[in-house]
Chains A and B, each alone.
Chain A
Amino acid sequence: MPVPFSQISEKYDIVVIGSGLGGLTAANRLAYCGHRVLLLEHHHRLGGLATWFKRKGHIFDISLHGFPYGMVKTCKKYWNKAIMGSIVQLKNIVFDNPQFSLQTTFDKEDFTHILETVFKIPLSTINRFFTLVSGMNFYDDQSMTTRELFEEFFPGRTDIHRFLMEPITYANGSTLDDPAITYGIVFSNFMNRGVFTFVGGTDKLIGMMADELEKNGVTICTKVKVENIIVEKGRVRGIEAHGKTVTTRAVVSNSGITNTIYNLTDRDAFSDEFLEKAAKIRVNNSSCQVYMGIRDGEKIDDVGDLLFTSTAPEFNSTELLDKETKSKTFSIYYPRTRPGLNRYTIVASMNSRYEDWIKLDDKSYQAEKDALIARSLKDLNRYLPGVAQKIDWTEAATPRTFNRYTLHTKGTSFGTKFEGLDVSRTIFKEVAGLFHVGSVGIIMSGWLGAINYGVIVSNDVDSYLRS
Chain B
Amino acid sequence: MTSEEIKDLILEIIEDIDDEADFENLNPDEPLRDQLDLDSMDFLDIVMELRKRHQLQIPEEDYPNLATLNSCATYLEPLLRNV
Q: Do A and B form a real pair?
A: yes
A456-467 near B? 1/0 per residue, CB < 8 Å: 101100110011
**Closest Cβ of chain B: how far from A462's Cβ, in Å?**
6
State whether B55 touches A466 (Cβ < 8 A). yes
What per-residue 1/0 map shows which CB atoms of B37-67 lie under 8 Å from chain A? 0000100110110011001010000000000
Determine the chain A residues whose CB is within 8 A of the CB of B57 once the complex forms: 463, 466-467
Cβ–Cβ contact A463 & B44, under 8 A: no
B contact residues around A15 at 8 Å (CB):
none
**In the assembled complex, which residues on chain B have CB atoms less than 8 Å from the CB atom of A452?**
41
B17 CB–A CB distance under 8 Å = yes
**Interface presence of A74 (CB below 8 A):** yes
Which residues A422-461 have CB closer than 8 A to chain B? 452, 455-456, 458-459
CA separation between A34 and B57, bound complex, in Å?
16
Enumerate chain A residues within 8 angstroms of B45, measured Cβ to Cβ. Answer: 77, 455
Q: Mark A65-109, 1 if CB is under 8 A from B, else 0.
A: 000000001100100000000000000000000000000000000
Residue from A33, A455, A463 whose CB has the most chain B CB atoms within 10 Å: A463
Instruction: Say yes or no: A459 contacts B41, CB within 8 Å.
Output: no
From A73, A455, A466, give the contact of B51 (CB < 8 A). A466
Question: In the complex the two chains form, is B44's CB within 8 Å of A459's CB?
Answer: yes
**Which of B18, B41, B47, B55 is the one whose CB lies under 8 Å from A74?**
B41
In the assembled complex, how far is the CB of residue B50 from the closest CB belonging to chain A, in whole angstroms? 11
Contact partner of A455 among B18, B44, B52, B55, CB < 8 A? Answer: B44
Q: Is the CB of A462 within 8 A of B48?
A: yes
Number of interface residues of A (CB under 8 A): 14
* Distance from A243 Cβ to chain B, minimum over Cβ atoms (Å): 36
Question: Main SS of the interface on chain B?
Answer: helix
Residues of B within 8 A of A74 (CB): 41
Question: What's the dominant secondary structure at chain A's contact region?
Answer: helix
CB of A394, distance to nearest CB on chain B (Å): 40
Q: How far is the CA of A466 from the CA of B50 in the complex (A)?
A: 12
Name the one of B17, B18, B44 contacting A456, with C-beta atoms under 8 angstroms: B44
| Contact A33:B48 (CB < 8 A) given known A77-B17, A466-B57, A467-B57 | yes
Q: Which of B17, B18, B41, B51 contacts A462 (CB 8 A)?
A: B51
Give Cα A263–Cα B55 distance, bound, in whole angstroms: 35
Is the Cβ of B41 less than 8 Å from the Cβ of A455? yes
CB–CB A459/B17 < 8 A: no
A34 proximity list for chain B (CB < 8 A)? 52
A456–B17 Cα gap in the complex (Å)? 15
Shortest A133–chain B CB gap in Å is: 16
How far is B41's CA from A458's CA once the two chains are assembled, in angstroms?
12
* Residue numbers in B under 8 Å from A456 (CB-CB): 41, 44
- Do residues A33 and B52 form an inter-chain contact, with CB atoms below 8 A? yes
Alpha-carbon distance A458/B49, docked complex (angstroms): 12
CA distance in complex: A459, B41 (Å): 11
Binary CB contact string for chain A from 14 to 37 against chain B (1 if under 8 A, 0 otherwise): 000000000000000000011000
A462–B23 alpha-carbon span in the complex (Å): 29
CA distance A73 to B37 in the complex (A): 12
Chain A contacts of B47 at CB under 8 A?
459
Distance in angstroms from B67 CB to nearest chain A CB is 16
Residues of B within 8 A of A77 (CB): 17, 41, 45
In angstroms, how far is the closest chain A Cβ from the Cβ of B59? 9
* Bound-state Cα–Cα, A466 to B55, Å: 8
How would residues 19 to 34 of chain B score, 1 for a CB under 8 Å from any chain A CB and 0 otherwise?
Answer: 0000000000000000
24 A-B contacts, Cβ less than 8 Å apart?
A33-B48, A33-B52, A34-B52, A73-B18, A74-B41, A77-B17, A77-B41, A77-B45, A452-B41, A455-B41, A455-B44, A455-B45, A456-B44, A458-B48, A459-B44, A459-B47, A462-B48, A462-B51, A462-B52, A463-B51, A463-B57, A466-B51, A466-B55, A466-B57
A458-B48, A459-B48, A466-B51 given. 16 additional CB < 8 A pairs? A33-B52, A34-B52, A73-B18, A74-B41, A77-B41, A77-B45, A452-B41, A455-B44, A455-B45, A456-B41, A456-B44, A459-B44, A459-B47, A466-B55, A466-B57, A467-B57
Top 8 A-B pairs, shortest CB-CB distance: A459-B48, A459-B44, A33-B52, A452-B41, A463-B57, A77-B17, A462-B48, A466-B51
Residue positions of A touching B, CB distance < 8 A: 33-34, 73-74, 77, 452, 455-456, 458-459, 462-463, 466-467
